[in-house]
């Protein structure tokens, strides 16, 4: 599996995530060729490989003294640890608000491509430091997640 087929791109114009984006927020988006539904793609994306689970375990150890959420809030519908906020036939948005930042991912299926967008709204200096610290790992995990989507059949 190669992340070479994963491309950085713009968030599709119809995404409900666009309504949230402010000038100081973080937003990235990647896409890969796939006809997978948003729900199925989100399930693949959040089924992290061992190395990513290890990184998340390190994150848990480092952030737990600060009271940050590690498993997300309780919710009737989740993909991985992320509560599903909204879902349509072409977009699933999941995530939650924490004390240091608000976080959402959007998984969109459109024109035989799956898009994965991440939006982060830091609340304070702690949120901005956290975002800068995890950004290289986020990019690696996001690109790998979409490569796994592209490697599977729907």
Indicate the pTM of the whole model. Answer: 0.89
- Tell me how many domains the chain contains: 1
Q: Is residue 59 packed enough to be buried (19+ CB in 10 Å), middle (13-18) or exposed (0-12)? A: middle
**What is the band of 66 on the pLDDT scale with cuts at 50, 70, 90?**
low
Per-residue pLDDT tens over the stretch 14-53: 999 999 999 999 999 999 999 999 999 999 999 988 888 7
Instruction: Note down the domain range covering 94.
Output: 3-151
H or E element in which residue 142 lies = helix 125-151
Buried b (16+ CB within 10 A) or exposed e, 11-22: bbeebebeebee
pLDDT reading at 105 higher than 70: yes
Q: Which two tokens stand for residue 76?
A: 């009737």
Tokens 């992340």 belong to 3
Percent of the chain with pLDDT over 70: 88
CATH (domain of 115): 3.30.530
């Amino acid at each position: 599996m190669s992340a070479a087929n994963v491309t950085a791109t713009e968030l599709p114009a119809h995404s409900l995530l666009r309504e949230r984006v402010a000038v100081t927020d973080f937003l990235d988006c990647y896409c890969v060729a796939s006809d997978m539904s948003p729900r199925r793609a989100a399930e693949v994306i959040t089924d992290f490989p061992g190395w990513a689970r290890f990184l998340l375990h390190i994150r848990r150890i480092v952030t737990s003294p600060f009271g940050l959420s590690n498993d997300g809030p309780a919710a009737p519908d989740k993909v991985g640890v992320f509560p599903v906020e909204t879902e349509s036939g072409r977009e699933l948005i999941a995530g939650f608000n924490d004390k240091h930042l608000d976080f959402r991912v959007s998984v969109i299926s459109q024109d035989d491509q799956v898009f994965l967008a991440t939006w982060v709204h830091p609340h304070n200096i702690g949120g901005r430091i956290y975002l800068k610290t995890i950004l290289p790992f986020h990019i690696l995990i996001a690109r790998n997640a979409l490569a796994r989507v592209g490697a599977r059949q729907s």
